[in-house]
A and B are shown apart, each in its own frame.
Chain A
């Protein structure tokens, strides 16, 4: 049958290039590998030439594939499954890229693109290391392209093609018709949670981070392959630093996205998906330090190998965790299982898994097993120094720091993998009651150790340090840190009582440790490095990291919920008293705001003014007015509006986006926790009841009375703008409710050549509609009163104050700057290049984290 209206060409082009790139990646892998084995120079050059051509072909192919997907999605070609699943007509253009990496195939492709770009960089820069390093990169490309291959081998489908057709993927009677496409009016579109500008930028940066972790891995492999066991470290170090900066920023972008668009009230929730990206970063930092130690002293080479391998292995393990559905019920934003089941029997045991999951596992094992095998096999050959490090040397304590990072990553991944144990052993272990605390209580100890380690180790010298030197340099930072800490304790004590005194104490110790380290590293730049900032990468990065931890401790230690249902009269039987604060410990954090009725939140009077539709279908903004008044004079000190919004979808599901008022020292964070879906409501059936009033007369309604105070001829106000040829009358009414609340209403009647227009006014708080009907023969004013019998308008919100959250973002920017500085110092860059790279990267991160949403 010939189907009408299909555009099959872009898919065919795309599919052709998928196969071409896949084959090219295979050829590149084999050729680079051959080149790395041969010692004959002419032969080596030949293999390299083939390999490079194949690699370039593969990269070009990947860009064409990406172009085809972009074309299909932007032209809404719903005959393609990918467009049908991820694009939709109403989707704004800026989210086009997000909808491409929403799907498995698109995000694998993004990863492939970055490997390609980094591969070209390495071909140009890695010189004699090219063959072994590029063997690894090409091998990774081979696996990634396999994921989007979508070809059948026998009964087994290898990978999911982004170019498969909707009619082949879904069975429905509609596809029996030649004109089926005219019935598919729209695609499913991008998940509403992902409609946020962070989702345009966060995935590319994160995947660039993922992709660049392959470089230290590749160099470590090259070290073993070439038997130049130690030389790779110097080469790999600048890339490792770059990777640490990019991956770190990418992870925190995910946190900032969560903070701005998920309503769990924070930027980090120890969600398995977050953990899965944090663990490789921790391992990378461990490896970074052991590599620096090796370069300076010759110690820790074996550990450097291990960490370089583990970093990428855990990137693959995270991919396995987040993309195979194994996390199941424990994560909010993991991918789900895709593809058909493969079942086979081995030794009488039935193995059954999804085709896609099998590929991801294969990718993981193809990198984990050979690399660890090579490491174990060559372990004895890797040079090491048998003389022990001195305890007063820098390398000793740096090594301890690396171990702390390593053990922390093991702790986090061991906990995150619980669903994997459940799957393998059939156990039913569920997460603990308070997941965040189960991590925080350990991580706070890690912060304490790291704080003290980085504060003091910076002042130690390699090999050996005299106590006199250390004391001379470090006494001043110590005193200053202690002073800052006392100020914090006195003027801004932590209010995190809910986990008891022990944890509160640990928070204080951690706060001191990280402040100490921040001050000590900042001092180091001036006292030891004499302010030469371009050489101060390490203390800048450490100071930034510590400042970030200060921000994390303070903003979560003093985070406060300011919305409480008790403020507007609804109190519940309390569920218990907190032993420390003597306050009820379940503050019932949702507050319902009736339209136009102010309620107090902390120091603010908050009023829900109105809701309005956004540009996108189903998006609605709730306009909240915040007002802070001086307690004595009653003068308004400050006033601002916040507009949290929700997406209400056709199927009645809802997603809520917070809105934040950012101050330098704190954020006020609010989101809609419950809103009415107006479409679902019944029609208003109440009728207007007419009353006739003279000036000063009173009329009653069920909940109070109203007085006609004045009638204004042709009024000038915000509600009404007079046009030529119109005559308008406005009634000024004062309404007093039974509970003595007072409201004003100003209904209008406008007369022009076309007739009479009533502009009704609504007192939402009283559910009362008033209409100016006209004037009767006795000059009495005819007013219509209607008391609505539908629900009154309201919205339920939750609000938090995050103090000093900007420290988290500023700390991150400084840390990234420090890592970039170190990279520039250790790489081969001219002054001009260094300046440009430093400026651009810092400006970008600063803009994204501190200005983009202000």
Chain B
């Protein structure tokens, strides 16, 4: 066996160890309900902003404190606390991907990814709505 082969084997072994160590870091996509069953564990929740409940953010009082309520398609509901500034198009978003940990009474969120309709130029339905809106105002 060549030395390069031995080193290659070592490299592959290291790669596998690296990927396995990575798999230990993996988290999961959860619903609000299943996240509530594993409180304190880091999860991703895909949900929607609950528009019937107030969104509280006052940058003068505290620019790093945002709370709102989220609901998901399975009917789960939770309060969300986000210690950061308010994402500007939160109210416009269709879907929220929230990372964080579920606590006793709220979801402690560390990052929010917004899916906003305006960014989906390739979405046909959205384009139709856009045309409707633009042409009906006149």
Is A bound to B?
yes
Which residues on A are within 8 Å of B, measured CB to CB?
Answer: 85-86, 103-104, 166, 169-172, 174, 180, 183-186, 188, 191, 329, 332, 335-338, 388-389, 391, 396, 399-400, 403-404, 407, 410-411, 414-415, 428-434, 438, 442, 565, 570, 572, 575, 586, 588-592, 594, 646, 648-649, 651-656, 673-675, 791-792, 794, 796, 798
Collect the chain A residues with CB atoms within 8 Å of residue B134's CB. Answer: 183-186
Asked whether A411 and B19 contact (CB < 8 A) given A191-B119, A572-B65, A652-B88, the answer is yes
* Interface pairs (15), CB distance under 8 Å: A172-B132, A183-B134, A184-B131, A329-B113, A396-B3, A410-B15, A430-B43, A430-B44, A431-B26, A432-B26, A433-B110, A588-B83, A649-B118, A653-B88, A653-B116
Q: Judge if B74 is at the interface, Cβ distance under 8 Å.
A: no
Task: For the complex, give the distance between the alpha carbons of A388 and B132 in Å.
Answer: 71
Q: Is the CB of B89 within 8 A of A652?
A: yes
- The size of the chain B interface, using a CB distance under 8 A, is 59
Q: Is the CB of A432 within 8 A of B113?
A: no
Asked whether A674 and B85 contact (CB < 8 A) given A172-B128, A438-B22, the answer is yes
Asked whether A433 and B8 contact (CB < 8 A) given A415-B19, A438-B22, A794-B60, the answer is no
A671 to chain B, nearest CB (A): 10
Task: For the complex, give the distance between the alpha carbons of A166 and B14 in Å.
Answer: 53
Pick from B11, B12, B46, B86 the residue with the most CB of A within 10 Å. Answer: B11
Q: Is the CB of B22 within 8 A of A172?
A: no
Task: For the complex, give the distance between the alpha carbons of A180 and B130 in Å.
Answer: 14
Collect the chain A residues with CB atoms within 8 Å of residue B3's CB. Answer: 388-389, 391, 396
Among A332, A335, A653, A674, which residue has its beta carbon within 8 angstroms of that of B63?
Answer: A674
Among A403, A414, A792, which residue has its beta carbon within 8 angstroms of that of B11?
Answer: A403
Collect the chain B residues with CB atoms within 8 Å of residue A575's CB. Answer: 83
A418 nearest CB neighbor, chain B only: B26
Q: Is the CB of B60 within 8 A of A396?
A: no
A-facing residues in B8-57 (Cβ within 8 Å): 8, 11-12, 14-15, 18-19, 22, 25-30, 42-44, 46, 57
Q: Is the CB of B121 within 8 A of A171?
A: no
Q: Is the CB of B4 within 8 A of A396?
A: yes
Collect the chain A residues with CB atoms within 8 Å of residue B128's CB. Answer: 170-172
Pick from B19, B22, B88, B128 the residue with the most CB of A within 10 Å. Answer: B88
A-B interface, 5 closest residue pairs, ranked by CB to CB distance from nearest: A654-B88, A432-B25, A653-B89, A673-B85, A430-B44
Q: Is the CB of A337 within 8 A of B122?
A: yes
Q: Is the CB of B63 within 8 A of A329?
A: no
Interface string of B86-107 (1 = CB under 8 A from A): 1011011000010100000000
A567 to chain B, nearest CB (A): 12
Task: For the complex, give the distance between the alpha carbons of A575 and B101 in Å.
Answer: 14
Among B44, B61, B85, which residue has its beta carbon within 8 angstroms of that of A590?
Answer: B85
Task: For the complex, give the distance between the alpha carbons of A336 and B138 in Å.
Answer: 31
Beyond the given pairs A172-B131, A337-B122, 19 more chain A to chain B contacts, judged by CB atoms under 8 angstroms and listed by A's residue number, are A170-B131, A184-B135, A188-B121, A188-B130, A191-B119, A389-B3, A396-B4, A399-B4, A407-B11, A430-B43, A433-B27, A438-B25, A565-B63, A572-B62, A572-B83, A649-B118, A652-B91, A654-B89, A798-B85
Pick from A410, A591, A673 the residue with the most CB of B within 10 Å. Answer: A673
Task: For the complex, give the distance between the alpha carbons of A92 and B28 in Å.
Answer: 43
B7 to chain A, nearest CB (A): 6
Task: For the complex, give the distance between the alpha carbons of A572 and B64 in Å.
Answer: 9
Collect the chain B residues with CB atoms within 8 Å of residue A400's CB. Answer: 4, 7
Task: For the complex, give the distance between the alpha carbons of A240 and B10 in Å.
Answer: 29
B117 to chain A, nearest CB (A): 8
A596 to chain B, nearest CB (A): 14
Which residues on B are within 8 Å of A, measured CB to CB?
Answer: 2-4, 7-8, 11-12, 14-15, 18-19, 22, 25-30, 42-44, 46, 57, 59-65, 83-86, 88-89, 91-92, 97, 99, 110, 113, 115-116, 118-124, 127-128, 130-132, 134-135, 138
Task: For the complex, give the distance between the alpha carbons of A652 and B57 in Å.
Answer: 16
Task: For the complex, give the distance between the alpha carbons of A825 and B138 in Å.
Answer: 65
Q: Is the CB of B26 within 8 A of A388?
A: no
Q: Is the CB of A430 within 8 A of B131?
A: no
Among A172, A434, A590, which residue has its beta carbon within 8 angstroms of that of B135?
Answer: A172
Collect the chain B residues with CB atoms within 8 Å of residue A170's CB. Answer: 124, 127-128, 131
Q: Is the CB of B62 within 8 A of A565?
A: yes
Task: For the complex, give the distance between the alpha carbons of A404 and B65 in Å.
Answer: 44
A566 nearest CB neighbor, chain B only: B64
A649 nearest CB neighbor, chain B only: B118
A408 nearest CB neighbor, chain B only: B15
Q: Is the CB of A183 within 8 A of B138?
A: yes
Collect the chain A residues with CB atoms within 8 Å of residue B99's CB. Answer: 433
Q: Is the CB of A565 within 8 A of B64?
A: yes
Q: Is the CB of A674 within 8 A of B86?
A: yes
Collect the chain B residues with CB atoms within 8 Å of residue A414's CB. Answer: 19
Among B11, B28, B61, B116, which residue has its beta carbon within 8 angstroms of that of A430?
Answer: B28
Collect the chain B residues with CB atoms within 8 Å of residue A588's CB. Answer: 63-64, 83
Asked whether A336 and B120 contact (CB < 8 A) given A388-B3, A407-B14, A407-B15, the answer is yes
Q: Is the CB of B8 within 8 A of A403?
A: yes
Q: Is the CB of B60 within 8 A of A594?
A: yes
B14 nearest CB neighbor, chain A only: A407
Collect the chain B residues with CB atoms within 8 Å of residue A592's CB. Answer: 59-60, 63
Q: Is the CB of A674 within 8 A of B15?
A: no
B63 to chain A, nearest CB (A): 4
Collect the chain A residues with CB atoms within 8 Å of residue B86's CB. Answer: 674
Task: For the complex, give the distance between the alpha carbons of A411 and B17 in Å.
Answer: 10
Collect the chain B residues with CB atoms within 8 Å of residue A411's CB. Answer: 15, 18-19
A494 to chain B, nearest CB (A): 23
Collect the chain A residues with CB atoms within 8 Å of residue B122's CB. Answer: 104, 335-338
Task: For the complex, give the distance between the alpha carbons of A114 and B7 in Å.
Answer: 39
Q: Is the CB of B46 within 8 A of A329?
A: yes
Collect the chain A residues with CB atoms within 8 Å of residue B4's CB. Answer: 388-389, 396, 399-400, 403
Q: Is the CB of B29 within 8 A of A428?
A: yes
Q: Is the CB of B65 within 8 A of A430?
A: no
Collect the chain B residues with CB atoms within 8 Å of residue A399's CB. Answer: 4
Q: Is the CB of A169 within 8 A of B22?
A: no
A288 to chain B, nearest CB (A): 18
Q: Is the CB of B25 within 8 A of A433?
A: yes
B106 to chain A, nearest CB (A): 14
Q: Is the CB of A590 within 8 A of B25?
A: no
Q: Is the CB of A590 within 8 A of B22?
A: no
Collect the chain B residues with CB atoms within 8 Å of residue A648's CB. Answer: 88
Q: Is the CB of A653 within 8 A of B92?
A: yes
Task: For the complex, give the distance between the alpha carbons of A270 and B133 in Å.
Answer: 38
Q: Is the CB of A430 within 8 A of B27?
A: yes
Asked whether A430 and B135 contact (CB < 8 A) given A400-B4, A588-B83, the answer is no
Collect the chain A residues with CB atoms within 8 Å of residue B2's CB. Answer: 388
Q: Is the CB of A590 within 8 A of B18?
A: no
Collect the chain B residues with CB atoms within 8 Å of residue A586's CB. Answer: 83
Task: For the complex, give the distance between the alpha carbons of A791 and B60 in Å.
Answer: 9
Task: For the complex, give the distance between the alpha carbons of A798 and B92 in Å.
Answer: 23
Task: For the complex, give the distance between the alpha carbons of A655 and B87 in Å.
Answer: 10
Task: For the complex, give the distance between the alpha carbons of A170 and B14 in Å.
Answer: 52
